[in-house]
């Protein structure tokens, strides 16, 4: 099921669970034009897609950022743990986005293989094996639903962390809160 997008245009739109947390600050910087504060230590960890069309408007030192296809943090747990334990962050924003290339990946298997052959110098056989072995780990059916599921998974592992599934609209450059179900 596709989670609803809850827009943020002012402070009052921010869900109560995120107020007084770095999630609120992220939403205020990105959507509400909040002037930049100065930071010595990071406050937030952001997990977001590697997609080139996404730009965050945040001050220096405010956030650690992990980027991976589809904001998929599987196999990135050590880096999450590092950002919390040594980096000192207390909140995690998981940012999905529209037009994500990790949605419908299987349909582009041939393009992927041909691209690696043409531009990386791979054999078609190795490129096909690479895709078949790794694509299932990254393919997602619904970007918003995926980060909600990831948020629930990561809350089990990091129960003291505030974890927010968010959604970025590429054409607007704005963040939305995702209404989690269940
Ligand atoms: Zn993406």
Task: Provide the residue-wise pLDDT of the chain in tens; the chain has 182 residues.
Answer: 689 999 999 999 999 999 999 999 999 999 999 999 999 999 999 999 999 999 999 999 999 999 999 999 988 999 999 999 999 999 999 999 999 999 999 999 999 999 999 999 999 999 999 999 999 999 999 999 999 999 999 999 999 999 999 999 999 999 999 998 75
Looking at the structure, do residues 17 and 44 belong to the same domain, yes or no? yes
Domain, as residue range, for 62: 5-103+140-178
Q: How many domains does the chain divide into?
A: 2
Q: Find the CATH number of the domain harbouring 30.
A: 3.40.1050.10
Q: Which residues, 6 or more positions from 143, have their beta carbon under 8 angstroms from its beta carbon? A: 70, 96, 97, 98, 100, 102, 103, 167
- Ligand 1 centre to CA of 100 (Å) is 4
**pTM of the shown model:** 0.94
Reduce the DSSP state of residue 174 to 3 states and report it.
Answer: strand
Ligand 1 centre from 19 Cα, in Å?
27
Task: For residues 54 and 130, state if they share a domain.
Answer: no
Separation of 103 CA from ligand 1 center, angstroms?
A: 8
CA of 124 to the centre of ligand 1 (A): 25
* Helical spans, DSSP H, in the chain: 22-31, 77-85, 109-120, 124-138, 143-157
Q: Is the same domain home to 132 and 171?
A: no
Q: What is the DSSP letter of 34?
A: P
Instruction: Tell me what pLDDT residue 2 has.
Output: 83
pLDDT of residue 182: 57
Tell me the C-alpha distance between 83 and 64, whole Å: 7
Residues 113 and 127 in one domain: yes
Question: Residue 69: what pLDDT?
Answer: 92
**Residues 72 and 161 reside in one and the same domain:** yes
Give 79 Cα–ligand 1 centroid separation in angstroms: 20
Clarify whether residues 86 and 17 are in a common domain.
yes
Residues 79 and 150 grouped into a single domain: yes
Residue holding tokens 């609803």?
Answer: 4
């Amino acid at each position: 099921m596709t989670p609803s997008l809850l827009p943020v245009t002012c402070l009052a739109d921010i869900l109560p669970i995120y107020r007084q947390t770095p999630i609120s600050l992220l939403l205020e910087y990105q959507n509400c034009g909040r002037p930049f504060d100065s930071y010595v230590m990071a406050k937030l960890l952001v997990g977001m897609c590697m997609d080139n069309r996404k730009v965050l408007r945040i001050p220096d030192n405010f956030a650690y950022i992990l980027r991976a296809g589809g904001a998929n943090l599987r196999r990135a747990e050590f880096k999450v743990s590092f950002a919390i334990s040594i980096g000192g962050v207390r909140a995690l924003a998981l940012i999905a986005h529209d037009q994500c290339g990790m949605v419908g990946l299987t349909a582009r298997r041939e393009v992927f293989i041909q691209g690696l052959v043409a531009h990386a110098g791979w054999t078609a056989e190795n490129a096909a094996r690479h895709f078949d072995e790794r694509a299932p780990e990254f393919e997602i059916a619904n970007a918003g639903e995926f980060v909600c599921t990831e948020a629930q998974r990561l809350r089990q592992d990091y129960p003291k962390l505030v974890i927010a599934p968010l959604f970025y609209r590429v054409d607007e450059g704005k963040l939305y809160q995702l209404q989690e179900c269940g």
